[in-house]
Amino acid sequence: MNTELLGSIAQIVLMVVLAYPLGKYIAKVYKGEKTCLDFMAPLERWIFKICGIDPNLEMNWKSFLKALLTINLFWFFWGMILLYTQQYLPLNPDGNAGQSSHLSFNTCISFMVNCNLQHYSGESGLTYFTQLFVIMLFQFITAATGMAALAGIFKAMAAKTTQTIGNFWSLLMKSCTRILLPLSLIVGFILIIEGTPMGFDGKMQLVTLEGNEQSVSQGPAAAIIPIKQLGTNGGGYFGVNSSHPLENPTYLTNMVECWSILILPMAMVFALGFYLKRKKLAYSIFGVMLFAYLLSVGINTYYEMNGNPKIEAMGIDQVNGAMEGKETRLGPAATALWSCTTTVTSNGSVNGMHDSTMPLSGMMEMLNMQINTWFGGVGVGFMNYYAFLIIAVFISGLMVGRTPEFLGKKVESREMKIATIVALAHPFVILLGTAVACYFYVYHPGFVENEGGWLNNPSFHGLSEMLYEYTSASANNGSGFEGLGDNTYFWNFTTGLALIISRYLPIVGQVAIAGLLARKKYVPESAGTLKTDTATFAVMTFSVIFIVAALSFFPALTLGPIAEYFSIY
């Protein structure tokens, strides 16, 4: 069998197999049970002591959210100031300049909300200091924020009736010290051995074999890449992310990095099963997500390995597949797998250029982000699924004429309203943003020209570039059809707004639903209860998600990738 396909299969198997024990471990961490990393406990206690935080104080959902939002607000100022003044700060051997005000606004928000949309290039847009004290720091703590929010929801779901959902600070800290940090160290060690740079020297100047000068950007890359992948952040150290041969030097590093994208989101689903002691529910959720994921992997692998029909028509040898924007050491199958892995989660790192993938692969990449619930970002991904679960419970409850209940709690109008707003905000932001961009593009060509013309490709593909950008911002993904010239006032500000709305609205909404449900009286299961851990209900949830999320985008996708597909096949 083809060794590239074997590589892809091995990666998927390794994810699923290792997600199970990791999920078990994560459930133990959040429950506060004994684990092998308990030696971190004194350190955590000591940090809390000097910060004046009581990690044992139980919070209700409102004070939980208040703590979450306040520290995020603080991070915003932290990031803005450091990015704007980076040229005056230490660790800048290449003498890179500070970011403009609109670029630092966009960069800061995008890393604060765990999106990592990058309108700059890593080699020249940041210094080693900001790479470490803004980018990498945010990649840890914002991922931990999402995980802490989910841990709060777990607690709310597990309790019979409760006012409190845990302590935000403690969950934040544990997500860092017990989960993200140890995994990052392991991945970092592998990357270093395989040749990813981890030093503080500036660019390496050398003379090539043909006698030309070449300067090679390097730096502390091996520290940032592990957490970029594990925290579903995706903001690359180098401009071209993991297609860069120093960021992702071998097929082994590619396997490890791709594995790191999905391992925590997968493990989180199992963690839910262990935490709630409802393994069957976790399996049915996992099944739906895995099915959708494999479907898109299949489609993309097929199209990328078969190559571009327009190039086929030129009569050359295209057995290696569509190689535009791809790397020889990885091959099209690995890039297809990664393109789906990074879009089902909110990761957004790439190991090949999505802009150059085939039309339907591009569509699946967008659709994964538009649905935004298959595995999803660490923590927040499952929370999006949770909102759809509530909607599915409600709809199926109505269909069979029963009071909708979920895990022993009645789902009533207030929760439904929040869930619906959360579910509809996502298509609203994406489609509105794209519509506004199209409006400017068509009716104010002078404005667009002043901003550099935006698009790198004409026609249907040009529309896809704009649609992709808002989709990626709104899904807090961060990948891009990078041909779009997006370091401009328009794109920095509008996507910055999209980022804020689509990060905090869902988190607030979902934690609120969980908090509201947790307060309600527990209704024991009876023969009349709608079972939520069956295959039927799994299919039902899949259909609800598909109808609400996917079909909202169908008209837009028809004008972009689908039209492009028919123009070249």
Partner 1 sequence: MISTLLKSFKLTIAFCVLLSVCYIFILWVFAQVAGPNKGNAAVLELDGKVVGAANVGQAFTKDIYFWGRPSCAGSGYDASSSAGSNKGPSNEEYLAEVQARIDTFLLHHPYLKREEVPAEMVTASGSGLDPDISLKAAYLQVQRVAEARGLSKDKVTAIVKANIEGPLLGVFGPKKVNVLKLNIALEKADKNKNNIK
Site for partner 1 in 313-372 (CB under 8 A): 314-331, 334-335, 350-353, 355-359
- Applying CB under 8 A, which part among 15-23, 134-142, 378-386, 503-511 lies near partner 1? 134-142
Task: Say if residues 470 and 480 touch (Cβ distance below 8 Å).
Answer: no
Residue 188 makes contact with partner 1 by CB under 8 A = yes
Minimum distance from residue 545 beta carbon to partner 1 (Å): 29
Nearer to partner 1, 218 or 487 (CB): 218
- Residue by residue, DSSP assigns 132-151 as IIIIIHHHHHHHHHHHHHHH
Residue 141 makes contact with partner 1 by CB under 8 A = yes
- Residue by residue, DSSP assigns 375-433 as S-STTHHHHHHHHHHHHHHHHHHHHHT---EETTEE--HHHHHHHHHHHHHHHHHHHHH
Q: Binder to partner 1 among 30, 84, 111, 140 (CB under 8 A)?
A: 140
Minimum distance from residue 357 beta carbon to partner 1 (Å): 8
Contacts to partner 1 from residues 418-447, by CB under 8 A: none
Residue 136 makes contact with partner 1 by CB under 8 A = yes
- Applying CB under 8 A, which part among 15-23, 146-154, 479-487, 528-536 lies near partner 1? 479-487
Minimum distance from residue 156 beta carbon to partner 1 (Å): 21
- Applying CB under 8 A, which part among 307-315, 433-441, 509-517, 525-533 lies near partner 1? 307-315
Q: Binder to partner 1 among 25, 75, 375, 388 (CB under 8 A)?
A: 75
Nearer to partner 1, 318 or 529 (CB): 318
Nearer to partner 1, 177 or 232 (CB): 177
- Contact partners, residue 332, CB within 8 Å, separation at least 6: 4, 301, 304, 305, 320, 321, 322, 323, 326, 352
Nearer to partner 1, 251 or 428 (CB): 251
Per-residue string for binding with partner 1, 260-299, x by CB under 8 A? ----------------------------------------
**Rounded to a whole number, what is the largest CA-CA distance in the chain?**
80
Residue 137 makes contact with partner 1 by CB under 8 A = yes
Nearer to partner 1, 78 or 522 (CB): 78
Q: Binder to partner 1 among 209, 400, 442, 527 (CB under 8 A)?
A: 209
153: β partners: none
Q: Are strands 204-207 and 213-216 parallel, antiparallel or unpaired?
A: antiparallel
Nearer to partner 1, 43 or 535 (CB): 43
Minimum distance from residue 174 beta carbon to partner 1 (Å): 13
- Contact partners, residue 351, CB within 8 Å, separation at least 6: 241, 242, 243, 248, 254, 257, 258, 327, 330, 334, 335, 338
Tell which phi-psi region holds residue 109, choosing left (phi > 0), alpha (psi between -120 and 50) or beta.
alpha
Contacts to partner 1 from residues 34-63, by CB under 8 A: 43, 47, 50-53
Contacts to partner 1 from residues 189-208, by CB under 8 A: 189, 192-193, 195, 197-201, 203-204, 206-208
Minimum distance from residue 59 beta carbon to partner 1 (Å): 12
The DSSP code for 40 is G
Token output for 357? 């993938």
Task: Say if residues 143 and 175 touch (Cβ distance below 8 Å).
Answer: yes
Minimum distance from residue 126 beta carbon to partner 1 (Å): 13
- The residue count of the chain comes to 569
Minimum distance from residue 62 beta carbon to partner 1 (Å): 13
Token output for 526? 């009876």
- Contact partners, residue 523, CB within 8 Å, separation at least 6: 405, 408, 409, 410, 529
Minimum distance from residue 505 beta carbon to partner 1 (Å): 21
Distance, CA of 395 to CA of 381 (rounded, Å): 22
Q: How far from 92 is each of 55, 66, 86, 97, 130, CA to CA, in Å? A: 37, 36, 8, 9, 9
Q: Binder to partner 1 among 67, 276, 421, 438 (CB under 8 A)?
A: 67
Nearer to partner 1, 427 or 483 (CB): 483
The DSSP code for 244 is S
Nearer to partner 1, 188 or 379 (CB): 188
**Considering just the CA atoms, what is the radius of gyration of the chain in Å?**
23
**Which long-range contacts (C-beta less than 8 Å, at least 24 apart) are formed by 11-15?**
11/255, 11/258, 11/259, 11/337, 12/294, 12/297, 12/337, 14/255, 14/259, 15/259, 15/262, 15/263, 15/266
Minimum distance from residue 527 beta carbon to partner 1 (Å): 47
Contacts to partner 1 from residues 237-266, by CB under 8 A: 238-240, 243-246, 249-252, 254-255
Token output for 405? 């209940």
